[in-house]
Amino acid sequence: MKARRHPDELLVGLVSVSDRASQGTYQDQGIPALQSWLGRALASPWQAETRLIPDEHETIVRTLIELVDETGCDLVLTTGGTGPARRDVTPEATLAAGTKEMPGFGEQMRQISLNFVPTAILSRQAAVIRETPAHAALIINLPGQPKSIQETLEGLKDAQGNTLVHGIFAAVPYCIDLIGGPYIDTHDTVCKAFRPKSAVRQRP
């Protein structure tokens, strides 16, 4: 297990699934986009473990399990491999690694993306909880493009910054609470975490 520098430090695994990027013929954009967004959104401490792997079912399953069971990640975000192409197997591998499906995340991601492109109905992003006797983590598939990653995490806002449609990350901190992970705080201007009043800690 990776050591935490603070009791509430979030350990997050960032996995980019791409044949070309893993072979070095294409520069990966998914992991840098995720690191940049988390850096802007998270107000609490965090550290990331990154993996760049090909679109291969067994490799994806093995990577997800390793990040949760061995590294101890509380949250794993994947990017890429969620379309209808034959090599797109990230959702199937994610479901294989999970012990409990969380379909609301995929439903909301497609709903957000449909505000931008009609081809959002072709996306197959999934989310699961992986539970072991000692640990649990949330695993979420995200789109492959940096712009789409930001849109699905943040949601939609009007010109004044008011939320029109909640992004999926608003529900992530409370989900991590419920499975026994660290308390995640966010910068409200980027993504306001939603919790029931009884679960909110007073900010220092």
The CATH code of the domain that includes 165 is: 3.40.980.10
Could you tell me what percent of the chain has a pLDDT over 70? 99
Q: Is the pLDDT score of 83 beyond 80?
A: yes
Mean pLDDT of 147-157: 92
The percentage of residues in the chain with a pLDDT greater than 90, rounded to a whole number, is: 82
Residue 199: half-sphere exposure toward Cβ, Cα within 13 Å: 16
What mean pLDDT comes out for the span 31-39? 97
Would you state the pLDDT for residue 26?
Answer: 81
In the predicted model, is pLDDT for residue 194 greater than 80?
yes
Residue 153 CB neighbour total at 10 angstroms: 25
What sections of 48-127 are H helices per DSSP?
A: 57-65, 90-97, 103-113
At 55 the pLDDT is 94
Whether 119 is covered by a domain: the verdict is yes
130-150 pLDDT, tens digit per residue, is: 999 999 999 999 998 999 999
Going by the DSSP 8-state scheme, the letter that residue 191 receives in this structure is -
Q: Looking at the domain assignment, is residue 22 inside a domain?
A: yes
* 3-class DSSP assignment, residue 93: helix
* Residue 3 forms part of a structural domain: no
Mean pLDDT of 173-199: 95
Count, residues in the chain: 204
pTM of the model: 0.95
What domain count does the chain have? 1
Residue bearing the bigger pLDDT, 23 or 193: 193
- Measure the CA–CA gap between 51 and 59, rounded to whole angstroms: 11
Helices (H), the chain: 19-23, 30-41, 57-65, 90-97, 103-113, 146-154, 172-178
Residue 58 lies in a domain: yes
**pLDDT of 44 over the 70 cut:** yes
> For residue 158, with 0-12 CB atoms within 10 Å meaning exposed, 13-18 middle and 19 or more buried, which class applies?
exposed
- Segments forming the whole domain that contains residue 39: 10-199
User: Does any domain span residue 188?
Assistant: yes
Answer with the residue of higher pLDDT: 204 or 173. 173
Q: What is the pLDDT of residue 3?
A: 87
pLDDT top residue among 157 and 145: 145
* Average pLDDT of the chain to the nearest whole number: 94
Residue 4 forms part of a structural domain:
no
d(CA 119, CA 4): 40
Could you give phi then psi for residue 123, rounded to 5 degrees? -80, 150
For residue 82, is it within any domain? Answer: yes
pLDDT at position 204 over 80: no
Tell me how crowded residue 180 is: count the other CB atoms within 10 A of its CB. 12
Q: What is the pLDDT of residue 203?
A: 66
How do residues 158-173 score in pLDDT, each as one tens digit?
888 788 888 999 999 9
Q: How far apart are CA 100 and CA 109, in angstroms?
A: 19
Q: Which residues contact 78 (CB under 8 A, 6 or more apart)?
A: 15, 16, 17, 60, 64, 90, 94, 139, 140, 141, 142
Domain-located, residue 2: no
Task: Report d(CA 72, CA 199) in Å as an integer.
Answer: 23
